[in-house]
Amino acid sequence: MRSSLLRAACCVAVLSLSGALCAAGMSTIEVSDPWIRWLPAGLPAGGYATLHNGGLLPVTLSAVSSPDYGQVSLHRSSMQQGNNVMQSVAQITIPARSSLNFATSGYHIMLQQPTRALQPGDRVPIALRFADGSSMTVMFDVRRPDGGPANP
């Protein structure tokens, strides 16, 4: 009997610790193909990537920043009454075990007011901050306006 109670208590402790680790941002976020669409003359640029949430819980991206841009924010493009409309969004939730693809016709990172002259071939750090307080910095490749590499 005592052995059964001890095993049950250990199981509860392990499950509680697992839940705490997931809640504290230990879910698995992977970023693939991070890139920025370079535009001339300091025009606003778009940041794109695919975020993979391999965890068991949804993860909410709540902020983005970069030392190479004065203003960085989350945006979404959509069609409304036949017009392409871009809106700022406060956060984006990535469901458990799924991916979010940033694209020109959907969610993207809006990058404005570059703090240095950027060209295709450069790399830019972008910090991704999540609602649970965790963050990660990802290096984004600056590409030509057509999305191709710096040197074709």
Q: What is the CATH number of the domain that holds 120?
A: 2.60.40.1890
- Number of domains the chain contains: 1
> Does 5 map to a domain?
no
Structure confidence by residue, pLDDT tens digits, 11-21: 444 444 344 44
- Looking at the domain assignment, is residue 22 inside a domain? no
Q: Does residue 78 belong to any structural domain of this protein?
A: yes
Whether the Cβ atoms of residue 102 and residue 35 lie closer than 8 Å to each other: no
Contact criterion met (CB below 8 Å) for 68 and 129: no
The answer to whether residue 42 sits within a structural domain is yes
Q: Is residue 9 included in any domain, yes or no?
A: no
The answer to whether 92 touches 61, Cβ cutoff 8 Å, is yes
- Whole-model pTM? 0.79
CA atoms of 79 and 56, how far apart (whole Å): 32
pLDDT tens digit sequence for 120-148: 999 999 999 999 999 999 999 999 998 88
Domain that holds residue 89: 28-143
Residues 6+ apart with CB under 8 A from 131: 59, 60, 61, 62, 91
Structure confidence by residue, pLDDT tens digits, 60-93? 999 999 999 999 999 998 777 888 888 999 999 9
